[in-house]
Amino acid sequence: MVVQGQGRIYREFDEKRLFSEFKRRSKLLIQGATPNNDWEWLTLAQHFGVPTRLLDWTDNPLISAYFATSSGKVKAHAEIIAVRTSAAEFVDVEKDKPFELGDVAFFEAPLMASRVSAQGGLFTVHPNPSSQWAPGLDEIRRFRISPGKRDEFRLKLHGIGINAAFVWGDLQGLGDHLRWHFTKGIPFASARTGQKFVLPTPTAPSPMQEQDTPA
């Protein structure tokens, strides 16, 4: 999101100017269909790292677990945040305009890139990106993963096919995945060599570990 930071205060004028510049300059670089509306343009801008009023979510808890354990400080807890939504909280992309909303709302990401589909992409749209958004306590759940369990979670996710190659769906993701494989010394499953990937047997959590997984 566009937020206050590094001495720069958010102004809607700056956000709209940045968005217009992206639309103007990217038209000759787009491979495939050109976005049809501002919702698709915002999705594309977010996809390529342009600061926008969008915040990324997913409807797949396994994708959430991947991002939680593969990012952030390795010595800090990873956290998965789940928010309950309803159909009334989703925008109508045919009628609503992203720069005319009064409240935070959800919208399903149009399939502008392979990674959007793989990640089960959703967004929240924040009319004032510099303001903190705080859903009601009965609408939000937080699940923590301790630092000592990060690698174990990533290994188990990899065992069921959730890794950088799948999540990003492009050459960059494949490169990240192979680098992780090499760094961790994980053998590749191969029909040619007969190697197999063995998924560790999970242990049942104690009652005190239902929402936290201490090392």
Mean pLDDT, residues 67-95 taken together: 92
Q: How confident is the model at residue 209 (pLDDT cuts 50, 70, 90)?
A: very low
Span 159-176, pLDDT tens digits: 899 999 988 888 888 999
* Structure-block tokens of residue 32: 């495939």
Does the pLDDT of residue 1 top 50, yes or no? no
Cβ 44 vs Cβ 32: under 8 Å: no
Alpha-carbon span 170 to 115, nearest angstrom: 8
DSSP string, 102-139: SS-EEEEPP--SHHHHHTTEEEEE-SSTTSPP---GGG
User: What's the pTM?
Assistant: 0.76
* Structure-block tokens of residue 63: 């994708």
Write down the pLDDT at residue 118: 61
Mean pLDDT, residues 77-82 taken together: 94
Sign of the torsion angle spanned by Cα atoms 177, 181, 186, 189: positive
Q: How confident is the model at residue 77 (pLDDT cuts 50, 70, 90)?
A: very high
Cβ 84 vs Cβ 150: under 8 Å: no
Cβ 113 vs Cβ 172: under 8 Å: no
Does the pLDDT of residue 4 top 60, yes or no? no
Mean pLDDT, residues 80-97 taken together: 92
Write down the pLDDT at residue 33: 78
pLDDT above 90 covers a percentage of the chain that reads 48
Sequence-separated (6 or more) residues with CB below 8 Å from residue 97:
38
Write down the pLDDT at residue 5: 42
- Of the ranges 56-60, 128-132, 143-147, the best mean pLDDT one: 143-147
What are the beta bridge partners of residue 122? Answer: 57, 108
Write down the pLDDT at residue 199: 53
Write down the pLDDT at residue 185: 86
Torsion, CA 133, CA 110, CA 43, CA 162, rounded to 10: 80
User: Whose CA is closest to 37, among 19, 58, 63, 17?
Assistant: 19
Write down the pLDDT at residue 169: 81
Span 89-121, pLDDT tens digits: 999 999 999 999 999 999 887 766 555 666 667
